[in-house]
Amino acid sequence: MNKVLSNKKTVAIFILPALILFAVFVLIPILYNVYISLFQTDLMGTKNFVGFRNYKNLFNDKFFLKALKNNALLVVGSLIAHLPLALLFGNFIFTKIKGSKFFQSAFFLPSVICGAGVGIMFKMIYNSEFGLVNALLDLLHMPQFKHSWLNEEKTVMFAMILVVMWKFVGYHMVIQLAAMRSIPGELYESARIDGASMWQQFTKITLPLIKHVIRIDVVLIITGSLKYFDLIWSMTKGGPNHASEVMATYMYYQGFRTLKFGYASAIGVVLLALCTAVIWLVNHLIRVEKMEY
């Protein structure tokens, strides 16, 4: 009994510093953000308690609703782009194609570049006058498809999704690939002896055994899509005419451009609630059975 209590004290001693840091830098700021969201602030720094008025105003704010819609587009676009491509590329590399180490590094490289740097780079690539995209269309004799990609409301979100896909597909591929490499090779050897095709090995062995990682990756993709900021801010700052506005950029605009900290905090609370709801929903929909192999 004394040994058990001693072990618990030892565990508590090691966990306590992490809990303190978590409380100071995560839990307390979240609670303070919720508190501030109940107030109306002005340029003079005065606070007036308004209850849930900020939240009511949010859902009557056409720019916030536009940001919410754009985040939904990014979520759907990221899921469609990242998950299938990550699984496809990861499976190709897992089967040890020639040059697999090179392709793994090449696909992963964009994910380590800072978002602001990627945004600035693609801002030049999409430039209507000297950008690479329009220059390539000229080279292919397809000038009718040229656009001012980041300055037109009908093309800006499509352009954003392509940049997000280029940057993060490799990151999610590495996650899937790590899960695939944890599967015992004997299972594939037995399947090959039984005459299973590559597709059958993928659908009957690989997918079921990495389902738990896919669930985690879906959460990362969706929550990441809800939190995009630096990439979008460095490319468009939410423009043109709020056409590429997302919740994070609109929160920044309200908090640091108009100094409406209470209103910006309300956006932050909504964003937190959406991320929490996504985690619960994905865990509820993608159920993973414990498998022994």
**Does residue 286 contact residue 215 with C-beta atoms inside 8 Å?**
yes
Q: What is the mean pLDDT of residues 258-272?
A: 91
Q: What is the mean pLDDT of residues 103-126?
A: 90
End-to-end CA distance of the chain: 36
Q: Is the pLDDT of residue 293 over 50?
A: no
Read off the pLDDT of residues 115-138 as tens digits, 9 standing for 90 and up: 889 999 999 999 888 888 989 988
Read off the pLDDT of residues 25-63 as tens digits, 9 standing for 90 and up: 989 999 999 999 999 877 666 678 888 999 999 989 999
Structure pTM?
A: 0.85
* Chain mean position to CA 223: 5
Check residues 7 and 251 and name the one with the higher pLDDT.
Answer: 251
What gap in Å lies between CA 214 and CA 73, rounded to an integer?
21
Q: What is the mean pLDDT of residues 228-256?
A: 90
What gap in Å lies between CA 81 and CA 204, rounded to an integer?
23
**Does residue 104 contact residue 169 with C-beta atoms inside 8 Å?**
no
Read off the pLDDT of residues 225-236 as tens digits, 9 standing for 90 and up: 888 898 999 999
Q: What is the mean pLDDT of residues 158-162?
A: 90
> Which residues are bridge partners to 49 per DSSP?
39
Residue 62 corresponds to which tokens in the numbers above?
Answer: 């056409």
Q: What is the mean pLDDT of residues 279-288?
A: 78
Query: Mean pLDDT in the chain?
Result: 86
Closest by CA position to 261, among listed 42, 56, 9, 58: 42
Find out whether the peptide bond into 29 is cis, omega within 30 degrees of 0. Answer: no
Q: Is the pLDDT of residue 289 over 60?
A: no
Q: Is the pLDDT of residue 166 over 80?
A: yes
Residue 162 corresponds to which tokens in the numbers above?
Answer: 């392509």
Output DSSP code: residue 96. T
Q: Is the pLDDT of residue 270 over 70?
A: yes
Q: What is the mean pLDDT of residues 6-14?
A: 77
Output DSSP code: residue 60. T
Closest by CA position to 53, among listed 36, 40, 66, 65: 40
- What was the pLDDT predicted at 6? 62
Closest by CA position to 70, among listed 223, 217, 228: 228
Compute φ and ψ for 175, nearest 5 degrees: -60, -45
- What was the pLDDT predicted at 2? 55
What gap in Å lies between CA 172 and CA 242, rounded to an integer?
29
Q: Is 19 exposed, middle or buried (0-12, 13-18, 19+ CB in 10 A)?
A: exposed
Please report which confidence band the pLDDT of residue 65 belongs to, taking 50, 70 and 90 as the band edges: very high
What gap in Å lies between CA 80 and CA 206, rounded to an integer?
20
- What was the pLDDT predicted at 51? 85
What gap in Å lies between CA 226 and CA 105, rounded to an integer?
27
